[in-house]
Structure 1
Amino acid sequence: MKGYRKFALRIAGASLILLLVWPWAAFAAPPGVQTNAESAALIDVASGRLIVSKDGDKQMRIASLTKIMTAITAIEHGRLSDQVKVSSKAAGKEGSSIYLKAGEEMSLENMLYGLMLRSGNDAATAIAEHVGGSLEGFVYLMNEKAGQIGMSRSQFKNPSGLDEEGHYSTANDMARLTAYAMRNPVFRDIVKTKMKSAPNPNETWDYQWMNKNKMLTLYEGADGVKTGYTKLAKRCLVSSATRNGQQLAVVTLNDPDDWLDHRKLLDYGFNYYPLERLVEKGDRIENMPVVIGRPFAYPLADGERGAIRKDALLLDPASDSYRFGERGTLTFSIGDRRIGSVPLYAENSPQLSVKEESAFSYRESAGYEVSRFHLWRLELQEVVRRLFVLRQ
C-alpha cells in the first residue's frame, strides 16, 4: 500500500512540475469567433466541453429546438414499435405539420422521423399523449430529464416549442441536451437522415419527409440536428458535424444568418480545438502493475496539452473493488478544472477484456441517396399540400 501511495504522490508531483515549467499564462488563447446570434454555444459532443459561449446562459425562447427534448424523452420512455393513435387535439395542432388525421395510427419510430425531419407539431402532440399518457405527463418527463442532465436554466411547457409563457432554455443548456441526445444511436440516426418514407394509411402514396436542416447538405460531415422558428423566438438552429472522429454541435438562438454562422463556428471548433487522445485502454503506468481501463480524449487548444495534470487515486487493497481487479482512478485536470477520469485496473484484470458498447441497441437505417429532381418534386408536393390540404 505504501508503494501505491508513493506512486500517487509521484504522479501528482510530476504534474505540478509540468505546470511550473509551462505556466498556464504562457499559452496564447485561440482567436475569438463572431456570430450574428443573440445567444450561441459550441460544444464537443463526446467530452461535453463548451468551447464557445456567447451569452450562453441567457434564458430565451427556443421554438422547435424543443423537439430535441421531445424526441430523446420519447426514445427513452417509449417503444419504437408502438402504434401511436392520433387524437383530434394532435391532428388539429397549429403550426408546422406532417398532416396527420384524427384516428390515424403510426409507429412511434416513424412519428419520430416526422417530428425531427419536418418539425410536425401534430406529431409532437401525438407522441407526448402516447408516451406520457397526457401532455402534462409528458412535459413532466421532459423537465425531469432536463434536471438529470444539468439543464438548470430551462423549463418546458409543451412538446412542440410553440411560444408559451414559461417555456424557455439557453444556448448552453441546449448544447448540453444535444450532446446528451447525440450519444443515443436512435436519436443520432433519425436526425442525420435526409429523407424518410413512411406508410400512409389514408392515401395511395406514402409519406415522404425531407429534412429541413440544410446543414446536412451545406456542410461536409454534417449529421444533425434541428431547425426552429416562431415569430417571437425568431430563427433558431442546432447543427452537428463529425470530422476526424470528433463530433461538434452548435446552438444559435435568434440568428438571422444561422447557416453561415454554424459553418463558421464548426470550422472554428475543428481548427482550434481538435480532439486529442490523452491515454489509450491498456496503457501501462510506469513502474507499477497498473493499466488504463478506458481511452480518454478531450478537445484541446494549442498549448493546453502541456497544462494537463494527471492525479491517481488508488484503492485500498482490502476493498471489494480491489479484489475484483480495480486499482483506482486517474483524473485529468486543466488548471483547477477537472475534465475527466478513467479507471485503473490490475494488468491481468478480466475487466480489460470487456467490450465497451452503448447502452442502446438500434439498427441504423440504410443510406438513401436523393436526386436533385426528387428533392425538387418533394418541395413542390409540400407547397401543394400547404395550399390545399390545410384549407380542407
Structure 2
Amino acid sequence: MKILLSILFIFQVSLSQVQFCGKSYVVYDRFSKSVIEGKRENESQSVASISKIMTAILAIENNKLDKEVIVDHTIDKAYGSCVYIHIKDKITIQDLLYGLLLRSGNDCGLMLAKATFGSVDKFVEKMNDLAMKLELSNSHFSNPTGLDEEDDGNISCPKDMAILMDYCCQNPIFNKIVKTQVYQRLDGKGSWNNKNRLLKEYSYCLGGKTGFTKKARRTLVTRAKKRGMDLIIVTFNCGNDFAFHKDKYEEVFKKFQSVKIYDEGLNWIDQEVYIFDRDLQLELQPQDQVTCQVIQNQLYLQVNQKTVVCKQLSHYQFKYALYYILKDLIYG
C-alpha cells in the first residue's frame, strides 16, 4: 500500500546559506532521526572531548548520583583538561559528572570509568558495546577522556556523534547537567562554569559538549529546540564553531517547519488501524512531497523520494484503544 501526502506550505523562504569553514559537520533532526544537511558527515577522525558524552551516559545509567567515590591512582594518567581532584578525596558521582561535562575534566572521566565498571579497560569495552547497539558504524572508543596522544583516541564522525547525542538526550539527568551554566559542588569546594558558550549566547540551546586536541582540533556538539523542532549540530575543526552553530540553527529553524504527520495513539492508514507510541513529525520545506508506504507492518516515510523514517508499527488491539481513550479522558 502507498499513500501520497502532498504538503504545500503557504509561506515562502528566502535565506542566504550560512557558510561552513571547517572539516565536516552535520545537522541532525531528533524527531525523524535523520540528517537535514551536512558535509563529510560520515568521515571519521579523533573527536577529542565531545566523546565524553559517551562516558557520561554510561556512568549515569549505571550509578546512583549520590554514590561516593574515593579518588585513587587511576587519575595518574589524567593530563590536559582537569578539575584537579586529589588522591584520597571523597567525591560523589554527581560531582564527577558535572566536572566531566561542564569542565571536561579528564580526571573525572577516569574516576567515573573506575567507579562504574571497576576498571578503565572494562569501561572502554562497554563504550564500544553501546556504540554497537546504537549502530555507530564509524566509531571506536579507546578511553573515557578523548585524549589521543598515547593512542588513536576516540574515533567517530559527525553523524555518529549526533546519533549518540540524541541517545544521551533521552536521559533527563544528562539533559539537566549539560544545560547547567554554573554548578555548586556538593563537596563544598567551589563551583564550575560550563565551557559551552552557546548556553549564554543562544537562548534556544539546551546543552552540548566542547572538545579540543592538537590532533582533532576543535570539536563541538550542541542541541537546540525551537517551535517544536529539536536539532543537534556537530562540527569538526571549525574555528568559529559557536557562531556557526548559532547561525545554522537559526537558518534551519526559519527554513523548515515541523509538520505532524501522525498523532500519538490510533491512526488509520489505508483502512488499517495502527498504534503510534508518540507523535510522528517531519521537518519540511515548501513544496516538499511526503509519501507513506506500509510493508509488512513497517512504515516508510519518504521526502522527495528519499526515505527519512523507517518505523515498525503495531496493529490495533482493544487494550491499546482503551488505554488511549482513558488517557484522553484523564489528561485531555
Q: Quick check: 1:345 aligned with 2:332?
A: no
Residues of 2 paired with 1:286 and 1:180: CA distance? 29
Q: How does 1:160-171 map to 2 (within 5 A)?
A: 160-164=145-149, 165-167=151-153, 168-171=155-158
Q: Corresponding residue for 1:146?
A: 131
Aligned residues: 318
Q: For each residue in 1:72-95, what CA deviation from the matched residue of structure 2 results, as whole angstroms up to 9, or x when unmatched?
A: 111122232321221123166211
Q: Corresponding residue for 2:163?
A: 176
Q: How does 1:205-354 map to 2 (within 5 A)?
A: 205-282=188-265, 284-285=267-268, 288=271, 290=273, 292-294=275-277, 295-304=279-288, 306-311=289-294, 313=296, 330-334=299-303, 335=305, 337=307, 339-341=309-311, 342-346=313-317, 349-352=321-324
Residues of 1 paired with 2:145 and 2:318: CA distance? 51
Residues of 1 paired with 2:272 and 2:141: CA distance? 50
Q: Corresponding residue for 2:111?
A: 126
Residues of 2 paired with 1:289 and 1:350: CA distance? 17
Would you tell me which structure has more strand in proportion to its own residues?
A: 2
Task: Sort the Cα spacing of 1:171 and 1:281 in 2 relative to 1 into closer, same or farther, 3 A.
Answer: closer
- Are 1:112 and 1:123, in contact at CA under 8 Å, matched by a contact in 2? yes
Please report the RMSD computed on the Cα atoms of aligned residues, expressed in angstroms.
2.8
Q: Quick check: 1:82 aligned with 2:67?
A: yes
Residues of 2 paired with 1:44 and 1:253: CA distance? 18
Task: Sort the Cα spacing of 1:196 and 1:286 in 2 relative to 1 into closer, same or farther, 3 A.
Answer: closer
- Are 1:61 and 1:233, in contact at CA under 8 Å, matched by a contact in 2? yes
- Larger RCO (alpha carbons 8 Å, 6+ apart): 2
Deviation at 1:195, TM superposition (A): 0.9
Deviation at 1:286, TM superposition (A): 7.8
Q: Quick check: 1:199 aligned with 2:171?
A: no
Q: For each residue in 1:9-59, what CA deviation from the matched residue of structure 2 results, as whole angstroms up to 9, or x when unmatched?
A: 4xx2x43xx68x99xxxxx99975421121111111233211122111111
Task: Sort the Cα spacing of 1:270 and 1:87 in 2 relative to 1 into closer, same or farther, 3 A.
Answer: same
**Residue type of the alignment partner of 2:294:** D
Which portions of structure 1, spanning 4 or more consecutive aligned residues, are displaced by more than 6 angstroms? Answer: 28-31
- Are 1:98 and 1:122, in contact at CA under 8 Å, matched by a contact in 2? yes
Deviation at 1:122, TM superposition (A): 0.6
- Are 2:50 and 2:210, in contact at CA under 8 Å, matched by a contact in 1? yes
- Are 1:75 and 1:187, in contact at CA under 8 Å, matched by a contact in 2? yes
Query: Structure 1: where are the runs of 5+ without partners?
Result: 1-8, 23-27, 314-327, 356-392
Residues of 2 paired with 1:61 and 1:72: CA distance? 19
Deviation at 1:283, TM superposition (A): 5.3
- Are 2:25 and 2:38, in contact at CA under 8 Å, matched by a contact in 1? yes
Would you tell me which structure has more helix in proportion to its own residues?
A: 1
- Are 2:49 and 2:210, in contact at CA under 8 Å, matched by a contact in 1? yes
Equivalent pairs: percent with the same residue?
A: 31
- Are 2:266 and 2:316, in contact at CA under 8 Å, matched by a contact in 1? no
- Are 1:221 and 1:243, in contact at CA under 8 Å, matched by a contact in 2? yes
Q: Structure 2 length normalisation: TM-score?
A: 0.86
Query: Structure 2: where are the runs of 5+ without partners?
Result: 328-332
Q: Structure 1 length normalisation: TM-score?
A: 0.74
Task: Sort the Cα spacing of 1:330 and 1:347 in 2 relative to 1 into closer, same or farther, 3 A.
Answer: farther
**Residue type of the alignment partner of 1:332:** L
